[in-house]
A and B are shown apart, each in its own frame.
Chain A
Amino acid sequence: MTRLPAPWGHRINRDKPVSFRFEGTKFTGFEGDVIASSLAANDQWMLSRSFKYHRPRGLMSMAGSEADTLVQLPSDPNVQADRHQISEGLLVTAQNVNGSLANDRDAFMDKLGRFMPVGFYYRTFMGPTRNAWLKFWEPLIRKKAGLGVLDTNATHQNYEKANLFCDLLVVGGGAAGLTAAIEAAEAGADVILAEMEPEIGGALTYRRDSSDLLHDLRNRATACPNLRIMTDTLVNGWYEDNWLPLIRGNKLFKTRAVEVILATGAIEQPATFRNNDLPGIMLGSAAQRLMRHYAVKPGNRAVVLAANPDGYRVALDLLDAGVELATVVDPRAGGSGGDLANALHTKGVKTLTGDITEAQGKKHLKSVTADGTRIPCDLLVMSVGSVPMWQLPCQAGAKLSYDQDHARFNLTLPDAPLHIAGSVNGLSSHDAVTTDAIRSAHQVLAQLDLPHRDIAGVEDTEAVLANFEPTITAHPKGKDFIDRDEDIQVKDLQNATREGYRELELIKRFTTVGMGPSQGRHSALAAARIVAKATDRSIAETGVTTARPPFAPETLGVLSGHHHPAERRTALHQEHLRLGADMRPVGAWWRPYFYGDKTDARCLIDEEVRAVRENAGVLDVSTLGGLEVRGPDAGEFLNRIYTMAYKKQPVGRCRYCLMTNEMGTVIDDGVALRLADDLYYVTATTGAVARVYADMLFWNAQWQLDVDVLNVTSAFSGFNITGPNARQVVEALNSNIDFSHEGFAYLEGCEGRVAGVPVRAMRIGFTGELSYELHCPSSHALTLWQAIMEAGKSVSLRPYGLEASRILRLEKGHILIGQDTDALTSPDELGFDWAVSKSKPFFIGKRAIEMRRNKGLPRKLAGLSFDAPRDSQDVPQESCLVLRDNVPVGHVTSSLYSPTLKKHIALAYVHGDDSDTGTQVTLKCRNGKRVNAPVEGHAFFDPDNKRQEV
């Protein structure tokens, strides 16, 4: 393994060898090497096989973009070999090979190109039978699709997120970015500079004659206290109001910048000729990166294709590195490298005016044909032009236009706190780049109200030479790749236009050009040129395709970060666990389902039901929504929000609350306790309270009533003590409330103290039994609960869970909003006309309820019951259909077995004409069996409501 002597290779530490394996073979590189550089140093140039034709591929840009350099790590597919640093023992394999990289069994695909013209898959794989695609062709193709292999056992990694704020974010740490950042920071701005490479300097780190400038900028940057430099940090997108994701390793920094300077540089473009994808053919900047960053000699005998001054600089670099230079080929008519060319001539290098039409070689470059002559070489370096790094500016609203005279793309910025500087702005020479950077910094300083100067735009004589417009003609034998990721050749684009796909976006979709990992970085310009020519339009008319985020591939882990779904626990969570509760999530809350051993669930739930029906039980209702409505207009406010009337509700009384939306659909229910003339305590369902609260405030923002609403859901906990012996329990509590029959009637409520705890007490419940609900501040919840349990000892008070509660409520036919109602349920469909005031002039939904009533009821919620063994499948369970002439007219919303009544009970929507008691309706069980049942009322147990009023 030979490397160039220092100062070549400043990124590697020659004292620290690092060994790793590629395709099973051991390789040794140095600390600081990336996979591709250390392999190249060991003469391993081939890195992968191409997507479609399985052609040998190696590095081309060394900038981490093309699919050719994607390799597989054991738990990490599609890793960029030209950016990922090696580490001891790293296991690397090639992707998209069938067999081994060296002997890919699918390499024959390369010979089948003629059978697979562009879009061929749209024209075949359809027969012989109708499902041939699904059963035969697709599985075959799916096997060949994709690149890397996912490790479905990959271990969990840690990802973090943080926020950053700054006056100015400079994206890119090259000459332009550094200069701008320093200039702004020295003037007092708070600046962050983000650079994706491990070191700052950008092209200065590998370009010829750049080290002095870089040295100088480094020193100035280090001396700036208010300049934060983040290397290895990818700015991966631009979002509204200068919100930019900065990614460093596994961490996402969401950054808000007042101003942004994009100094993202330019992307060097490859040339188009037959076999331009062979390993050994690379961009000028790639050769320079190999040499200056990693001390890797890119080849032994080189041809340089130079259409701009940079090409000549690369040629000089190659000579310095001891590479034999066969020739420099300059495709520009009359083009010459000027002084740089003279320097080459004095070193004995010939330049040739002409073009390269073909390269030869099997797995590596062997020769090129330039102007009809074959020149043996193992390295071809291309410097033929570049495009501005358009992705971030375009995401931020910049427009890309084509300057025909200079054969280059230009960016025009939107009117926004956004600037570009340096080669992204079409500049090339050090002087021009520096001036441009200072100009942009002072624009920013002006916006930030910091000391600034006006600096004029710059002309760059060198930039004018940087690009030229090549004539791209399809090679008769093809394999002249425009998009290496997708194996797209010149003729593919031409043929696509002949098929009628003439718009660039259609061509992209039909041929997949630009859809691969490099997202058009190396194909967009050439594709635009080919399409413009093929459709007889200018490049300006052809346009370019949209740039969408992200800028470079980013992991889902870094985007999702440390994510946990929200969970809420009541104040008694630990207490329930102590009592052996089976806790389950209900919405965001964890609630007890029942208490005791899971294996006895049914038996325990039955016992809990029986305890309530025959003795006393207690339920934690802390998740219930609680709202305080306070103010002189509180009654009027509730009158408008809910369907019943509240203004005349006496203090100390509870009243049912039914909420409808403007469409007259039932959206919530609860109970309002009037605590004072100007204060109501209102409950709302657990799942809806947040919305009810927001809606209340929303309406009042319009009504402007003198009322305030407070969401006290988490502030209060609540317990419902229910059952024939409930009064014994509450009377045994140490309290100042008279819980007696005479002192505390059904639907009354009051404030008082229980066990030293301030409570709100209400005689309400969901079970149909004598019930007391005690609400208290959550900080006292445990004290109150323990006092209740203590007071309940004499009657063996039993805590019960959600399952029993559901049975108890269904036995009473109480509806559950969201389960027994849907997005169209009106109060009339529930038979709730009693809850809808006829005298109020207005409440939300009133008009719609009336309009719907006038149209007639399409369906109505009815009670149904079925005598069948408990485990029978011939009973309509929840969601089973109600049929009329075999047409679904409704469905079962709730269905359970009642241990109290020893039969199955259900609520179901039946056709509006079938809603009279006794009408027979037909239901379809889940097993398909039809059963009939007569319509009943909702309450199956104690229909006269005698028990709750005792």
Chain B
Amino acid sequence: MKILTCPMNGPRNINEFQCFGPVKNDPDPATTSDADWARHLFRVDNSRGVITEWWRHVPSNYFFLAERNATTNEVIRTFTPQDAEARP
């Protein structure tokens, strides 16, 4: 079983976590066209390289971000959402 390092709880088995999928940018509803909004709804970053995802440590309900290689499954780093400059 893979290990994921929670910024709050340290390294834990990955079955303690729930993945909430790649980070999406929030378009502004006021300025976004219907077509772009639909794209926002259904499209997810599915590239084979490094993706940035939301994860939840389920027992502690802690949400954080992880950079993970979607092909090798290597976790490059995990960090807190407050780490603003770290967000892509």
Contacts and interface: CB of A to CB of B under 8 A. Distances in A.
Contacts of B73: 240
Contacts of A698: 20, 54, 56, 63
A239 B1 contact: yes
Nearest to A661: B41
A697 B63 contact: yes
Interface in B24-61: 26, 29, 32, 34, 37-38, 41, 54, 56, 58, 61
Contacts of B58: 694
Contact of A847 (B1, B3, B29, B63): B29
Given A662-B41, A847-B29, A851-B38, A697 B2 contact: no
A108 interface: no
A241 B73 CA distance: 11
A707 B63 CA distance: 14
A398 to B, nearest CB: 15
Given A240-B2, A243-B1, A697 B56 contact: yes
A686 B37 CA distance: 32
Q: Which has the most chain B C-beta neighbours within 10 Å: A243, A701, A704, A847? A: A701
B29 A701 contact: no
A239 B14 CA distance: 13
Q: How extensive is the interface on chain A, given as a class?
A: 20 to 34
A250 B66 CA distance: 38
A254 B2 CA distance: 13
Contact of A846 (B18, B26, B29): B29
A728 B23 CA distance: 54
Contact of B37 (A241, A254, A851): A851
Contacts of B56: 694, 697-698
Interface in B49-81: 54, 56, 58, 61, 63, 73, 81
Nearest to A842: B29
A701 B41 contact: no
Interface string A811-855: 000000000000000000000000000000010001110010000
B1 A701 contact: no
A848 B41 contact: yes
Contacts of A256: 1
A694 B18 contact: yes
Nearest to B61: A697
B81 A704 contact: yes
A914 B84 CA distance: 52
Contacts of A323: none
Interface in A239-267: 239-241, 243, 254, 256
The listed residue with most B CB atoms (<10 A of its CB), out of A239, A254, A697, is A697
B61 A241 contact: no
B84 to A, nearest CB: 10
Contacts of A846: 29
A347 to B, nearest CB: 56
Given A662-B41, A847-B29, A701 B54 contact: yes
Nearest to A693: B61
Contacts of A239: 1
Nearest to A851: B34
B1 A240 contact: yes
Nearest to A254: B1
A663 interface: yes
A241 B1 contact: yes
A782 B75 CA distance: 49
B3 to A, nearest CB: 5
Nearest to A704: B81
A153 interface: no
Contacts of B63: 697-698, 701
Nearest to A662: B41
Nearest to A663: B41
Nearest to B30: A841
Contacts of A243: 1-2
A701 B18 contact: no
A395 B27 CA distance: 43
A766 to B, nearest CB: 29
B9 to A, nearest CB: 15
A702 interface: yes
B34 to A, nearest CB: 6
Given A240-B2, A694-B18, A694-B56, A701 B37 contact: no
Contacts of A694: 18, 56, 58, 61
Contacts of B29: 842, 846-847
Contacts of A697: 56, 61, 63
Interface string A657-670: 00000110000000
B3 A241 contact: yes
A847 B29 CA distance: 7
Contacts of A704: 81-82
Contacts of A842: 29
Contacts of B81: 701-702, 704
Nearest to B72: A397
Given A239-B1, A847-B29, A847-B32, 7 more contacts: A243-B1, A694-B56, A697-B56, A697-B61, A701-B54, A702-B26, A851-B38
8 contacts: A239-B1, A243-B1, A243-B2, A256-B1, A662-B41, A697-B56, A847-B32, A848-B41
Q: Which 5 A-B pairs have the closest CB atoms?
A: A701-B63, A240-B2, A243-B1, A241-B3, A847-B29
